[in-house]
Amino acid sequence: MKADKFTLLRHFDGAPQEADFALETEELPELKPGEFLCEAEFLSVDPYMRPYTRQMKPPFTMIGTQVARVLESKSDKFPVGSRVVGALGWRSRTVVSEDMPTAQFGMRPCTGLGELPLSYALGSCGMPGNTAYFGFLEICQPKEGETVVVTGAAGAVGSLVGQIAQIRGCRVVGFAGTDAKCDWLKSLGFDAAINYKTCEDIDSALKAAVPKGIDCYFDNVGGLLSHRIRQQMNEFGRVSICGSIASYNDRTGETAQVDVPENQILFKQLKVEGFIVTRWDKEGTWQKGIDQMAAWIREGKIKVQETVTEGFQNMPKAFIGMLKGENTGKAVVKATVE
């Protein structure tokens, strides 16, 4: 049995390029007891991949999570036909040991989705869903009637945060990079949406959108836009830093500069906290988030949008496009065209 995989040849320098990846084929070994062979159905492309690869030493198989179906099995725990969600990398087929750790996005059975699409296990009912659920509710501690601002609002996480904020009775303002995304955000019930790429006076547009100031800021982007948003925060405001995508594509050795942040954090007595969602990857806690997200989706309180790229061979294209903001909602790759 053969498998396709993408190898990352070198560190990205600036925006990722297709030439940074090599599509390779390898022969898979025979299964040993306790192992199974699975085939990717959906693969995830996420912003975190850009900074995380910086800590690794190329060449290596590109990192990432997928929903895969078990094709052959010598494991009672993972029978043929069952599905797993696992950090198996950008691979079309993989031989996996049933003992692979489940924590830290190792691997777990793909359960609890019911009638919801399988791909949701990579988005609203997976890591990005819990990122929105815990990262917003636990860190921002939003109260009814407060004002919430979200950047990257039309992305996988941001679009969920904005909808969770509405469920909690907050006013929600989103930033996104196209008018179409802003229209979509308003259709989701956002009170206002600002196109940060075309808006000529972001400070004034934001001021008009948040008449009572900002209590919670869910930050996916960092950099200058975040600085300007923090300027309009209320005393004792909370900032949840989920991502810093505006600077992920800085060239090696270059770092964007912004005004010193301490003055605004100090004089407004802001609480600014960064988080990685694995902190909630504890017995019971993780699944609680997934279950709540799935329930809200079934109740129609949260709408899910995906941008699906067809074909495993298009993984780099999907990843590069996602970092450019070409996706609306969760960016996923469907491994095979049906």
Do residues 133 and 158 lie in contact, with contact meaning Cβ atoms separated by under 8 Å? no
Select the residue interacting with its own copies from 187, 198, 269, 336 (CB under 8 A).
269
Is residue 281 within the footprint of its own copies (CB under 8 A)? no
Q: Residue 316 corresponds to which tokens in the numbers above?
A: 């780099």
Select the residue interacting with its own copies from 125, 272, 302, 315 (CB under 8 A).
272
Structural element, H or E, at residue 25: strand 21-27
Pick the closer one to its own copies by CB: 15 or 23.
15
Pick the closer one to its own copies by CB: 22 or 256.
256
Q: What gap in Å lies between CA 55 and CA 61, rounded to an integer? A: 14
Pick the closer one to its own copies by CB: 117 or 325.
325
CB of 239 to its own copies, least distance (A): 9
Select the residue interacting with its own copies from 2, 19, 266, 284 (CB under 8 A).
266
Q: What gap in Å lies between CA 211 and CA 226, rounded to an integer? A: 18
The piece of 25-33, 175-183, 275-283, 284-292 that touches its own copies (CB under 8 A) is 275-283
The piece of 65-73, 174-182, 274-282, 316-324 that touches its own copies (CB under 8 A) is 274-282
CB of 248 to its own copies, least distance (A): 8
DSSP assigned state of 103: S
Q: What gap in Å lies between CA 183 and CA 194, rounded to an integer? A: 10
Pick the closer one to its own copies by CB: 125 or 214.
214
The piece of 80-88, 153-161, 221-229, 314-322 that touches its own copies (CB under 8 A) is 221-229
Is residue 244 within the footprint of its own copies (CB under 8 A)? yes
Is residue 260 within the footprint of its own copies (CB under 8 A)? yes
Is residue 279 within the footprint of its own copies (CB under 8 A)? yes
Select the residue interacting with its own copies from 274, 308, 313, 321 (CB under 8 A).
274
Select the residue interacting with its own copies from 37, 241, 320, 323 (CB under 8 A).
241
CB of 160 to its own copies, least distance (A): 18
Q: What gap in Å lies between CA 88 and CA 54, rounded to an integer? A: 18
Q: What gap in Å lies between CA 200 and CA 14, rounded to an integer? A: 26
Nearest one of 170, 166, 173 to 143, comparing CA atoms: 170
Strands 330-334 and 35-44: antiparallel
Nearest one of 1, 61, 62, 60 to 27, comparing CA atoms: 1
Kindly give, in sequence order, each residue whose CB lies less than 8 Å from that of residue 297, ignoring residues fewer than 6 positions away. 116, 120, 124, 125, 303, 304
Alpha carbon separation from 59 to 9, 11, 115, 298, 300 (Å, rounded): 5, 9, 39, 42, 44
Select the residue interacting with its own copies from 18, 26, 30, 259 (CB under 8 A).
259
Select the residue interacting with its own copies from 41, 191, 215, 219 (CB under 8 A).
219
The residues binding its own copies (CB under 8 A) are 51, 219, 222-223, 226, 241-244, 246-247, 255-276, 279
